[in-house]
C-alpha cells in the first residue's frame, strides 16, 4: 500500500474511532441505566425513542460496533481497497441519513417538541454521529473520486 493511501486510511480509521468512542459511551450509559440506574446520568428512557424494544436496540448496537471495528481495522491496515462506485453509493446513503437525522433533531428541538420520537434528543444526536460514520466510510471508499461521475463509462460492443 502506498504512503498516501496508508495515511488516508489511518486518518479515516482515526475519525471512525473517535465517533465509535462517542457511540460506545452512549451504548454503555444506557446499559448502565438499565442495570443500575443512577441520578447522575439521564434516565434510561432518554437514551432511546421507544420505537423498538431495548433488547433489539442493543443487538443492533452491537452489530454496528462490530462492523465499525472491522472497518477501522480494514481502513488502517489497507486491507479494504477503495472502490469509487461503492463509495458513491455509501456516501449517498450517508447524505440521506445525515440530512434526515439533522432534520429530526431540529424538528424535535422546535416544531415537534411534543412528539416523543422527534423530541428524543439523545437518540437524535447519536443518529447524526452514526450518519457521520457512514459518510466517513463512503469517503474512504470513494478515494477522492467525485460524488457525481463526469460521465458514465462507454459500453463496449457485445455488452
pTM of the full predicted structure? 0.84
Residue 76 lies in a domain: yes
Contact between 108 and 116 (Cβ < 8 Å): no
pLDDT value of residue 5: 65
Contact between 54 and 123 (Cβ < 8 Å): no
Question: What CA–CA distance (Å, rounded) separates 159 from 156?
Answer: 6
Quick: pLDDT tens for 91-108.
999 999 999 999 999 988
Residue 115 lies in a domain: yes
Cell of 97: 441519513
Among the residues of the chain, which ranges form H helices?
Answer: 3-35, 54-77, 84-109, 116-119, 121-142
Contact between 32 and 104 (Cβ < 8 Å): no
Residue 122 lies in a domain: yes
Residue 147 lies in a domain: no
Residue 148 lies in a domain: no
Backbone φ and ψ of 132, nearest 5°? -65, -35
Average pLDDT by stretches of 10, the chain with 159 residues: 75 96 94 90 80 89 97 94 93 96 90 77 91 97 81 65
Residue 111 lies in a domain: yes
Find the domain containing 11 and state its range.
3-142
Residue 87 lies in a domain: yes
Any idea which residue has 460492443 for its cell?
157
Residue 159 lies in a domain: no
Q: Number of folded domains in the chain?
A: 1
Question: What CA–CA distance (Å, rounded) separates 157 from 100?
Answer: 42
Amino acid at each position: 500500500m502506498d504512503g498516501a493511501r496508508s495515511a488516508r486510511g489511518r486518518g479515516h480509521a482515526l475519525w471512525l474511532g473517535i465517533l465509535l468512542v462517542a457511540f460506545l459511551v452512549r451504548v454503555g450509559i444506557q446499559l448502565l441505566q438499565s442495570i443500575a440506574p443512577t441520578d447522575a446520568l439521564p434516565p434510561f428512557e432518554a437514551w432511546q425513542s421507544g420505537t423498538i424494544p431495548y433488547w433489539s436496540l442493543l443487538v443492533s448496537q452491537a452489530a454496528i460496533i462490530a462492523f465499525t471495528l472491522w472497518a477501522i481495522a480494514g481502513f488502517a491496515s489497507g486491507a479494504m481497497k477503495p472502490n469509487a462506485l461503492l463509495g458513491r453509493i455509501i456516501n449517498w446513503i450517508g447524505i440521506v441519513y445525515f440530512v434526515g437525522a439533522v432534520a429530526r433533531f431540529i424538528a424535535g428541538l422546535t416544531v415537534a417538541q411534543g412528539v416523543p420520537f422527534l423530541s428524543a434528543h439523545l437518540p437524535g444526536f447519536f443518529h447524526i454521529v452514526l450518519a457521520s460514520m457512514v459518510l466517513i466510510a463512503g469517503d474512504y471508499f470513494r478515494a477522492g473520486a467525485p460524488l457525481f461521475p463526469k460521465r458514465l463509462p462507454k459500453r463496449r460492443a457485445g455488452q
